[in-house]
Structure 1
Amino acid sequence: MWNSLILLFWFIIGAIFGSFANVLIYRPMAGLKLTEPRFSICPNCGATIRWYDNVPILSYLVLRGRCRDCGAKISIRYPIIEITYALSFLLNHAIFPMDLAIVLDIIFTVSVPAIFIDLRKMLLPDYTWICTLVASIYANLYHFSDYWLLDIIGAVVALTILLLLKMRYKDGIGAGDLFLLPTFAYACGFVYMPFLLLFSSLLGIIFGAVKKSKVIPFGPAIISVGYVLVFLRYLLK
């Protein structure tokens, strides 16, 4: 019973963070500052969303996916993101010790918005690699201390490969990728680093084909593959 309540708590926390992630996704793509406007507004009529209409998941269901003021449809993306975060937090805390679960929560929280923003704007927010690196330093030092040097070597190798590629394809590698790839290489560890390079490259090509763009969105591929590999590292340790 107690364990079920704890998992319910993390499900709710995940939904709340999912609501926050929606802000991180929508505002940059709409050309707004993260801090302005202070409260959430309807993209259609500009009305301030009331606090009781801003409850993750539930408000969307109660309002039947429409703005209370103007009746405009609310994107289904909002509840999907909130449910995804809720389930992710629930899964992390059902499987891992508290500290590793929180590390994964942090990485997931800052990763999903970056995927949306990079696919749309070809920009990677700095908070993604910074938060991922800080959380991973804790996890690696406390849970994988025997591999600390190999983890650093893996990050350096990944960065070196990316720098060589940037010298060859100057416009093909973004500045954000130079921070993101070694960060996830460090997070997932030396053993998983080759898989990060291989599968993120393949996934990036797929993203590029779907977008029909000559510029490959490498960031979302790094994040998607990197998170899975970090999850596997924690699971199989």
Structure 2
Amino acid sequence: MWNFVKNLTAFILGLVFGSFSNVLIYRPIAGLKLNEPRFSICPHCKTRIKWYDNIPLVSYVLLRGRCRNCGERISIRYPLVELLHGLLFLLNVIFFPLELAYALNALFFVSFAAAVIDFKLLMLPDYTWMVTLIVGIYVNLTRFRSQIVFDLFAGLIVLILLSILKFRYKDGLGEGDIFLFPVYAFACGFQYMPLLLFLSSILGILFGYFKKLRVIPFGPFIVSVGYVLVFVRYVQSL
């Protein structure tokens, strides 16, 4: 019974955070402030969405993917993001102890939103690296305390190297990348730092090459590779 309640709670929380992730993603891209308006609106007619039409996943299904007011179709991206968060929150709770599961959930929540925003706007919100740093500190203190000095050193080395690169090649890296790389290096641990740098850089460069981009959004690749490596580190610690 406890497992059912625990798993159901995790899934529902995932849906709720997925809905909030849509807000974090949509509003900056649409040129809106995160706190204005203070309620959800239809992206087409801008009408306020009632609470009963704003239940994650459920309302989309009941309304058949359309706005109750104007009848315009709402992008399927919204329920898919909610479902993705719900399933991932559930899987993490099933496979990991609660404290590790929710640390991973918090990391995925901010990483996903930041990756989409950076991909669209070439901008990484400050909360991304801040939350990643908090998760890294928490996990290191509770799970990898013996390695925390080495992990801090790994993050510091990455910060110094990227600061030098930014000073030398001003347009080569965004300011968000300079903070995000080190905190993910800290969260991943010193043993995964080279892999984090290599894979995220290679994937970003290849993406930029094939898309013929002048400016490459490295954020999505940093958080994607970083999240997978943190996940792998968790698995190996069990």
Shorter-chain TM-score category? over 0.9
2-structure distance, mates of 1:111, 1:184? 11
1:51-70 aligned within 5 A:
51-70=51-70
Gaps of 5+ in 2: none
1-structure distance, mates of 2:41, 2:152? 44
1-structure distance, mates of 2:165, 2:135? 28
Q: Aligned-pair distance for 1:211?
A: 4.0
Q: Deviations over 1:102-151 (max 9, x none)?
A: 11111111111111111111100001110111121011011100001110
Matched, 1:224 2:229: no
1:139-154 aligned within 5 A:
139-154=139-154
Identical aligned residues as a percent: 57
> Is the contact made by 1:188 and 1:230 (CA closer than 8 Å) also made in structure 2?
yes
Instruction: Name 1:120's counterpart in structure 2.
Output: 120
2-structure distance, mates of 1:6, 1:176? 35
2-structure distance, mates of 1:157, 1:211? 31
1-structure distance, mates of 2:175, 2:193? 20
Q: Deviations over 1:183-204 (max 9, x none)?
A: 0000000000010001001121
2-structure distance, mates of 1:51, 1:144? 42
1-structure distance, mates of 2:228, 2:78? 23
Which deviates further from its counterpart, 155-164 or 185-194? 155-164
Which deviates further from its counterpart, 91-100 or 16-25? 91-100
Matched, 1:191 2:191: yes
Structure 2 residue matching 1:105: 3-state secondary structure: helix
* Residue identity in the other structure for 1:2: W
Q: Aligned-pair distance for 1:214?
A: 1.5
2-structure distance, mates of 1:18, 1:65? 17
Q: Aligned-pair distance for 1:210?
A: 5.2
* Residue identity in the other structure for 1:169: Y
**What is the Cα-based RMSD across aligned positions, in Å?**
1.2
The runs of 4+ residues in structure 1 deviating greater than 6 Å are: none
* Residue identity in the other structure for 1:15: L
Matched, 1:79 2:79: yes
Gaps of 5+ in 1: none
Instruction: Name 2:34's counterpart in structure 1.
Output: 34
2-structure distance, mates of 1:105, 1:177? 22
2-structure distance, mates of 1:6, 1:144? 26
Instruction: Name 1:45's counterpart in structure 2.
Output: 45
Normalising by structure 1, what TM-score?
0.97
Q: Aligned-pair distance for 1:169?
A: 2.4
Normalising by structure 2, what TM-score?
0.96
1-structure distance, mates of 2:219, 2:106? 18
> Is the contact made by 1:18 and 1:85 (CA closer than 8 Å) also made in structure 2?
yes
1-structure distance, mates of 2:143, 2:210? 38
> Is the contact made by 1:207 and 1:217 (CA closer than 8 Å) also made in structure 2?
no
Structure 2 residue matching 1:71: 3-state secondary structure: coil
Structure 2 residue matching 1:69: 3-state secondary structure: coil
Q: Deviations over 1:86-109 (max 9, x none)?
A: 011011111111111111111111
Q: How many residues align?
A: 237
2-structure distance, mates of 1:205, 1:178? 16
1-structure distance, mates of 2:27, 2:69? 20
1-structure distance, mates of 2:84, 2:209? 26
Instruction: Name 2:130's counterpart in structure 1.
Output: 130
